Amino acid sequence: MSPEHNRPTTGSMRPVEAAHSAPATAVHNPLPHANPLETLAILSEVELPTIAKGPIIRRPKVVGVVERLGLEARAVKRMQKMSEKYGKGPLMLSIPGMNMATVLDPEHVHRILEESPEPFAPAEMLKRNALKHFEPKSSLISHGGERTQRRKLNEQALDHGHPIHRMAESFMPVVEQEAAELLKTVDAQGGVLAYPDFLDAWFKVVRRVVLGESYRDDKQLTELTEKLRADGNWAFFKPVDKTGRESLLQQIKAALDKGEPGSIAAFMSSLEMGSESSPENQIPQWLFAFDPAGMASFRTLALLASHPDRLDAARLQIAQGQEEKAPMLPLLRASVLESLRLWATTPMILRETTRDVEFEHGVMPAGTTVLIFAPFFHRDERNLDFAHRFAPEVWDKPRTRADWPLVPFSGGTAICPGRHLVLLLTSNFLAQILGQRDVELTSHTLEPGNLPALLNNFTLEFELSAL
| Residue 428 covered by a domain | yes
Please tell me the predicted confidence (pLDDT) of residue 18: 39
Helices (H), 282-352: 283-305, 308-320, 330-342
Per the CB < 8 A criterion, the answer to whether 398 and 4 are in contact is yes
Per the CB < 8 A criterion, the answer to whether 210 and 259 are in contact is no
| Residue 233 covered by a domain | yes
Tens-place pLDDT, residues 299-345: 999 999 999 999 999 999 999 999 999 999 999 999 999 999 999 99
| Residue 322 covered by a domain | yes
For the residues of 182-200, what is the DSSP string, one character each? HHHHHHHTTTEEEHHHHHH
Range of the domain at 153: 6-466
E-state strands within 62-196: 91-92, 100-102, 120-121, 192-194
Please tell me the predicted confidence (pLDDT) of residue 54: 98
For the residues of 166-233, what is the DSSP string, one character each? TTHHHHHHHHHHHHHHHHHHHHHTTTEEEHHHHHHHHHHHHHHHHT-GGGTT-HHHHHHHHHHHHHHT
| Residue 1 covered by a domain | no
pTM: 0.93
Q: Which amino acid is at 205?
A: V
| Residue 328 covered by a domain | yes
Q: From the CA atom positions of the chain, what is the Rg in Å?
A: 22
Instruction: Find the CATH number of the domain harbouring 438.
Output: 1.10.630.10
| Residue 438 covered by a domain | yes
Q: How far is CA 111 from the centre of its chain?
A: 20
Residue whose C-alpha is closest to residue 446's, from 280, 311, 292: 311
| Residue 306 covered by a domain | yes
Q: Which residues of 175-204 are buried (b: 16+ CB within 10 A; e: fewer)?
A: bebbbeebbeebeeeebebbbeebbbbbbb
Per the CB < 8 A criterion, the answer to whether 364 and 90 are in contact is yes
∠ CA 175-4-110, rounded to 5°: 120
Question: For residues 394 and 391, what is the distance between their CA atoms, to the nearest angstrom?
Answer: 6
For the residues of 333-395, what is the DSSP string, one character each? HHHHHHHHHHT-SS-EEEEEESS-EEETTEEEPTT-EEEEEHHHHHT-TTT-TTTTS--GGGG
Residue whose C-alpha is closest to residue 337's, from 390, 385, 381: 390
Please tell me the predicted confidence (pLDDT) of residue 236: 93
Question: For residues 285 and 290, what is the distance between their CA atoms, to the nearest angstrom?
Answer: 9
Q: How many CB atoms are located within 10 Å of the residue 380 CB?
A: 18
Block means of pLDDT (10 residues each) for the chain, 467 residues, are: 35 38 65 97 98 98 98 98 96 97 98 97 97 98 97 98 97 98 98 98 98 98 98 97 98 98 97 97 98 98 98 98 96 98 98 97 96 98 97 90 93 96 98 98 96 98 97
When divided into structural domains, the chain yields a total of 1
Phi, psi for 393 (deg, rounded to 5): -65, -20
Q: Which residues of 330-357 are buried (b: 16+ CB within 10 A; e: fewer)?
A: bbbbbbbbbbbbbbbbbbbbbbbbbebb
